[in-house]
Amino acid sequence: MDRLQALESALEKIVLNPRYHDVLTLVKGVRNGMVYGSKVRFPHALVMIFLFRHGSLRTKTWLVFKATRQHARNLGLFALAYKATMLFLRYTSPTGKERHYDAFLAGLFGGYVVFGRDIHNSVSQQIVIYVFARVCLALAKLAVQPRGVGKIEGGGGGMGLVPNEHLRREITRNAWPAFASLSWAMVMYVFRWHPETVQPSLRSSMQYIYVQSDHWDSLRNFVWHNK
């Protein structure tokens, strides 16, 4: 017991030592990325695979584990690549401080190393598409947001591309309805005429909702399950 307490005390001194802080941020970043990836992917994979995939319980369980592991691995490795690159750029900066474009370069490197080289992995594709959609929304807000105005501490403010206050309010009010409507219009058109290009899990769920609902031959497969 005394040995365990001594070991715990020694480890705590290490993690609280400022000398090791930068290296330990890499370890904590990997840990947080893997934990978050597991929490996000596991329930999603559990529902999607058990509802829409065929196969034995063992096969479905393995697919859930595989998808969860892939998501956790991707986020953990990206955290490592991003934070390590940020540290490298800071240490090589003439001022020893973070530069405005460092986050972009670190994200570029991490995105290529972790996601960019794995073009056939559906989990990686879903993560990148999710990030891309969020970036589009953020840039749309940034475009109409006044310069120097940031709602979150550390925010750099908007681009101020729409100086007219009334026009800015109208764009803000109508941007989401237009974005949502066009997004669904495009995905339904692509699914209807080019379904092979739609991501597999999305295609499966859309088949279930929009195609299989057209067919039944009894009350049982009308109410309980598809034909």
- Cα–Cα distance for residue pair 74/80, rounded to 1 Å: 10
Return the pLDDT at 227: 65
188-213 pLDDT per residue, tens: 999 999 999 998 878 988 998 899 88
Confidence of residue 156 (pLDDT cuts 50, 70, 90): low
Amino acid at 10: A
Q: With beta carbons less than 8 A apart as the criterion, state whether 188 and 203 touch.
A: no
Where are the extended beta strands (E) located within 85-204?
Answer: none
Tokens found for residue 216:
């039944």
Closest CA to 198 of 209, 210, 186: 186
* Neighbour tally for 32: CB within 10 Å: 13
pTM summary value: 0.81
Answer yes or no: is pLDDT of 148 > 80: no
Does residue 153 have a pLDDT over 70? no
Tokens 């063992």, located at residue: 58
Confidence of residue 141 (pLDDT cuts 50, 70, 90): confident
Higher pLDDT, 151 or 34: 34
**pLDDT value at position 78?**
97
The candidate with the shortest Cα–Cα distance to 204, out of 16, 17, 50, is 50
With contact defined as beta carbons under 8 Å apart, do 64 and 42 qualify?
A: yes
Residue 130 is predicted with a pLDDT of 92
Average pLDDT score over residue span 59-78: 96
Q: Enter the tokens of residue 148.
A: 């120097």
- 87-96 confidence digits (pLDDT tens): 999 999 999 9
**Which residues sit opposite 147 in a β-bridge?**
157
